[in-house]
Amino acid sequence: MAAKEPAVDIRGLQITFDTDGGAVDAVRDVDLTVAPGEVLAIVGESGSGKTVTARSILGLLPETAKVSGAVVLQGEDIVSVSAQRLRELRGTEAAMIFQEPSTALNPVFTVGWQLAEGLRSHGKYSKRQAMAHAVEMLRRVGIPEPELRVNDYPHQFSGGQKQRIVIAMALALDASVLIADEPTTALDVTVQAEILDLLRRCRDEFGTAIVLITHNMGVVADLADRVAVMYQGEIVETAPVRQLFAAPEHEYTKKLLAAVPRVELVERPLRGADESASEPLVRARGLEIEYPGRLGRKPFLAVKGIDFDIAAGEVVGLVGESGSGKTTIGRAMAGLTPVTGGSLKVLGAELRSVREREFRPSRKQLGFVFQDPATSFNPLLSIAECVAEPLIVHGLASNPRDARDRVDELLEAVQLPKAFGDRFPHELSGGQRQRASLARALALDPKLLIADEPTSALDVSVQARVLELFEELQERFGFASLFITHDLAVVDRVAHRVVVLHHGEVVETGPTQQVLGAPSDPYTQRLLASLPVPDPVEQADRREALASLRESTV
Amino acid sequence: MSEKRTFRSLMGRLPVVHQLRQSVGLQRGMLVAGLVITGLFLLTAAFAPVLAPYGFAQLRGDDGLFGAQQPPSAEHWFGTTVGGYDVFSRVIWGAQTAFLVIVIAVILSIFVGILLGLLSGYIGGWIDRVLVVIADAVFAFPTLLLAIVAAIVISGGQSNLWGGVMAAAISITVVFIPQYFRVIRSETIRVKSEAFVESARVIGAKTPRIMFRHVFRNSTRTLPLIFTLNSSEAILTLAGLGFLGFGIQPTSAAEWGYDLNKAIADVTSGIWWTSVFPGTAIVLVVLGVTLIGESLNDLADPRLRARRRKATTPADAVAATQPVARDAMGEVL
């Protein structure tokens, strides 16, 4: 393979952005080559320049970017090529798969039309031929009944199918290089495994070179042949995938790999087992939550009669794919979404048709950590004021200055320096904000903490630290918690008990070790098998196990 | 140290100051020009009694009557009107009237508009529906027609200074309230679904507290912009009212629209000074305020905002965009 001309050859790439704060070097002196039929993964934290590097291959950079160096694609330098030639190259030589399939497709045209449009704009096909080719492409990426589905609109496909269509569009003109920017981040694990299989097939059958951008080391282990690790705009290490996972050389790579959560099945007994005899903090019986439909449509039943308990001091992990109703349950427990059926008792208050006034006293014992730390703070208040807010609302302090001692204590508990209290939310990084968010949730020393995907918006290394902190705080304050997540490895780290949700129903529940170690429900089994392990050797075995499991369950 | 920091960040967050610092090139030029013109207008309004050589209703000086339609001279820099008033003095005094109308109109409409917008957006339900229908109905009327009706109702034909000013201001208010209402309402609806508002709800904060502490300040960011655009519209409406004869009598206050109205006949007989100066005053003030508004609008949008080409060093630039301390490996604690 080394003898062949590389599909992409990046030399001395330097990209600078003009921002409000002046020019920022996003990519510094990057050299990369991708051979035909090779999957190169670029990994790194957000802001490390991995997306910008990959997009430069297609010349897809915003106007504020200044590029120097050379990006040679099939013998042509993208940096110096004309806009007209660049347009011709896009699609025919290199194509892109986007992160969010639902926004990459135009909702007002049929998928067949969109596929054909790409073909015809390069002038190689007549209208009829293009349509026939579109059907053929849909078949190749595994859309069932492509002759009929070709006339469907994007919203009639599921998320995974949409991503398949996006891949079909990228492949339609036989591009020799595919750039996949986080192609599975927006998808559930079971769908992710299928898309990764499809990408693998693209490489094997069409000999396409793939540049895979991802922050998920499991995906890297599953698909990549070679890995480039980026850190602050520079490539710190490039190595074949097995070598990288087995013997990382650079300090940063080592830290990155160490931070990746794995399912380890550590036994996590609940302390104070005698408490389980007393009344649980949360008791759901036949809980139903319905979203009202739009005019003339049936209401949507998000949660279909589920039972679960959370005892004092217990961390319950609520796991499920998107649309399983896990966030809805968390929101209902905090009184943000009304309960429409069954019974949900939280901290002694029945939440079905509760009035806000009656529930307010219980809120003192309830904390909530939101998914996105960027939006969960009032941008105009300082961190100290935000953290003091619960104290003020519940009359424990009359103003933020009054509460400052307690706020400093809390910031210390979440390992933030006191001085950070005077900063504004935008002056903190994601991980720091999420820690401040924990501080706010703990301000009133709650008995129950609801954490809705608290780490999914964070980079792996930051996620590891936030999880560590969560564990530590839980041990120290002994609060019970509902920990909502889609990541089984995260649940394994924090939860005593796991509840697995599927389409609004509980499919399996039990101690973490039991559910993740020896799942009895086929859905849980599939979920676990789909989770890519950050170890290329082990992942290859698991892939086969999953394939056989899929055959047996389908 | 923290006080100094707070002061600086406060200065930086003040509407116009912040944008002025942020601006660069042509956008800065527009903003500065707007600020200078508007500043001149404000100074003129404030110091009208000092600047104007005569009173706005003065017809005679030390040596008898001024005389009608006198061309510009050493005594009367801008000449005199058909009624025998000094044009220069009336233009200067007119700034005061215009300023009063802007301030009263904006104050009256801004409070009502914001309050209604917040209520309507945050609480929603039938309050929202009723208010939106009313706002839309008001929008459907032509501004000037509405202002005329309001002027008649309010002043009842009287035309002293306060009657005229209030008539103009209130009639403008009627038109402006829906504008503020709409902007604040849509912002409120956007902010309402943000996580920090939900977090306040989870904490157990009461509705008024959420509305005023969390939603209000986050939904008023576009106000300086509408404020400036509305100010220029207020001046135009006042001038329009005056021009149509619903203005303030020359003996009560100076008003540019009224002067323009009286100058119509002069134009054909070659007497240019009675119309050009009040007209220029209107154009300048509207231009100044609009320039501020437009450049604020451009600066508020990162896609329209021009940027400095190069910071002194890349490290400075990084430090400016990422105030967060970072060590060599990932995040600092």
pLDDT, average across residues A122-146: 85
pLDDT at res. B315? 44
The phi and psi torsions of B277 (rounded to 5 degrees) equal: -70, -50
pLDDT at res. B314? 43
Average pLDDT for chain A: 85
Give CA A136 to chain center in angstroms. Answer: 31
Q: The domain at A273-277+312-338+355-548 falls in which architecture? A: 3-Layer(aba) Sandwich (3.40)
pLDDT, average across residues A9-19: 85
Mind listing the pLDDT tens digit for each residue in A225-277? 999 999 888 899 999 999 998 889 999 888 888 888 887 776 666 655 445 55
List of chain B residues whose C-beta atoms are within 8 Å of the C-beta of residue A415: 333
DSSP H helices in A248-339: 251-259, 326-333
Nearest residue in chain A measured CA to CA from B19: A20
Is the pLDDT score of A294 beyond 70?
Answer: no
pLDDT, average across residues B211-227: 81
pLDDT, average across residues A31-47: 88
List of chain B residues whose C-beta atoms are within 8 Å of the C-beta of residue A378: 196, 200, 213-214, 217-218
For Cα atoms A128, A134, A136, give the angle at the middle one, nearest 5 degrees. Answer: 105
Is the pLDDT score of B310 beyond 70?
Answer: no
pLDDT, average across residues B126-136: 92
Helix (H, G, I), strand (E, B), or coil: what is residue A128? helix
pLDDT at res. A318? 92
CB contacts under 8 A, B 234-253 vs A, are none
| Cα(A343)–Cα(A308) distance, integer angstroms | 11
Under the banding of pLDDT at 50, 70 and 90, the label for residue A21 is low
pLDDT at res. A67? 87
DSSP letter string over B19-30? HHHH--HHHHHH
pLDDT, average across residues A524-548: 84
ipTM above 0.95, yes or no: no
pLDDT at res. A228? 93
List of chain B residues whose C-beta atoms are within 8 Å of the C-beta of residue A335: 201-202
A459, two tokens = 């980079």
pLDDT at res. B157? 59
Q: B333 to chain A nearest CA, in Å?
A: 7
Nearest residue in chain B measured CA to CA from A356: B204
Q: A373 to chain B nearest CA, in Å?
A: 9
Helix (H, G, I), strand (E, B), or coil: what is residue B165? helix
3-state secondary structure A407-470: HHHHHHHCCCCHHHHHCCHHHCCHHHHHHHHHHHHCCCCCCEEEEECCCCCCCHHHHHHHHHHH
| Residues sharing a CB contact under 8 Å with residue B83, sequence separation 6 or more, in sequence order | B59, B68, B250, B262
Flag whether residue B329 sits within 8 Å of chain A, measured between CB atoms: yes
A322, two tokens = 């998107």
pLDDT at res. A359? 85
List of chain A residues whose C-beta atoms are within 8 Å of the C-beta of residue B24: none
| Residues sharing a CB contact under 8 Å with residue A102, sequence separation 6 or more, in sequence order | A154, A159, A162, A186
pLDDT at res. B319? 43
Lowest mean pLDDT among A336-340, A363-367, B73-77, B206-210: B73-77
Is the pLDDT score of B333 beyond 50?
Answer: no
Lowest mean pLDDT among A127-141, A483-497, B300-314: B300-314
Flag whether residue A465 sits within 8 Å of chain B, measured between CB atoms: yes
pTM metric for this prediction: 0.76
Out of B194, B312, B324, name the one closest to residue A429 (CB): B324
pLDDT at res. A4? 63
pLDDT at res. A91? 79
Mind listing the pLDDT tens digit for each residue in A350-386? 888 878 888 888 888 889 998 888 888 888 888 899 9
Is the pLDDT score of A519 beyond 50?
Answer: yes
Q: The domain at A8-259 falls in which architecture? A: 3-Layer(aba) Sandwich (3.40)
Q: Which domains does chain B have, with CATH numbers?
A: 2-60+68-321 (1.10.3720.10)
Judge whether A37 and A226 are in contact, CB under 8 Å. Answer: no
Q: B95 to chain A nearest CA, in Å?
A: 37
Contact B319 A21 (CB under 8 A): yes
Lowest mean pLDDT among B3-17, B79-93, B315-329: B315-329
**Annotated domain spans of chain A:** 8-259, 273-277+312-338+355-548
Judge whether A143 and A149 are in contact, CB under 8 Å. Answer: yes
Under the banding of pLDDT at 50, 70 and 90, the label for residue B320 is very low
pLDDT at res. B301? 65
Flag whether residue A218 sits within 8 Å of chain B, measured between CB atoms: no
List of chain A residues whose C-beta atoms are within 8 Å of the C-beta of residue B2: 422
C-alpha distance from residue B227 to each of A14, A37, B115 (Å):
44, 60, 16
